[in-house]
Amino acid sequence: MSSPQKKPRKITFSHRLEYAGVMLVISILRMMPLEMSSAFMGWCWRKVAPKLSRQKRAMDHLRQAFPDKTDEELHLITLDMWDNLGRTFAEGLLVDRFEKAAAKFHKDENFENIEALVTKKGGVLVSLHSGNWELGGIIAHQHGVKLSTVYQKLKNPLVDGYVVKMRNSFFKGGIHAKGNRAGTKMMAWVRDGNIAAIMGDLRDAGGLKVPFFGRPAPTNIFPARMARNLNVPLVAGRIVRRNGLEFDLEFEEINVPYTDDVDADVNEATRQVQAIFENWVRARPDQWMWAHKRWG
């Protein structure tokens, strides 16, 4: 017997109003060159976001992560963070324009080796909300890499539909919403020799508590478990913004243990991923999303 189909989410007047507002913003951004629209939205977020409630959470997290820094130093980090997030927001809405934009991607020394490794046998790419994480699909598409990913549905179904439609052509393996057998679909995709991309820095209420900046952070173990169970490479990657539309691509392969204790292997690989993430965030704290509830 087939499983019952989920009912489509009801579209309300507020959904339509919000969607109209998003479309208006996109229309304005499309009147400008991509670099200008990115800079404009970064400026807007830098000016407005520090006055909103999430600024306090970002500052609280930064104080605990960098107790040796002054509030003035931490405040400057948040300004750059909001600027980067504003840019990422605009670039995400205009992701189709990156195909023709003068964006530059600088690959690190690991890129070719890891590309050859994962395209040969498939793999799991785990990343974090740093720099512009939205561009992973475009970069994979430009290199002929067939990528699949999982995402959290947006609350507004109209905006959600628009965002997914914009990205579909870059993810040949599909963009799967959390739940709805997304994990099973991703594992089948990797088993066929392809690559799955998963964000690994969000709080998972029921996840493994892994040290992150000296505090236990509930973490999703699925990327490590998928790589361990399928015997494929597990790679941590990030896209670092240098300046404007210029980015660095950085990758590190995780040394996944293979012992008789599968759970211990998965947990150790997960800890390695988070340790790499912490090092990356320490190096560029201005590019990570400090305002989200990483620790609880």
Domain assignment present for residue 4? The answer is no
Q: Is the pTM of this model over 0.85?
A: yes
Is residue 179 assigned to a domain? Answer: yes
Give the span between the Cα atoms of 149 and 151, in whole angstroms. Answer: 7
| Phi/psi of residue 191, nearest 5 degrees | -60, -30
296 occurs within a structural domain: no
Dist. CA 145–CA 134, nearest whole Å: 16
In a domain, 21, yes or no: yes
Contact between 136 and 239 (Cβ < 8 Å): yes
Residues of the chain with pLDDT under 50: 1-4
Give the distance, in angstroms, between the CA of residue 96 and the centroid of all CA atoms in the same chain: 18
The answer to whether residue 280 sits within a structural domain is yes
- β-strand 175-177 against 208-212: which pairing, if any? unpaired
Q: Is residue 244 part of a domain?
A: yes
**pLDDT at 275 (0 to 100):** 98
What total number of domains does the chain contain?
Answer: 1
Residue range of the domain that includes 234? 13-287
User: Domain for residue 75, yes or no?
Assistant: yes
Is residue 294 in some structural domain? no
For residue 17, the model assigns a pLDDT of 96
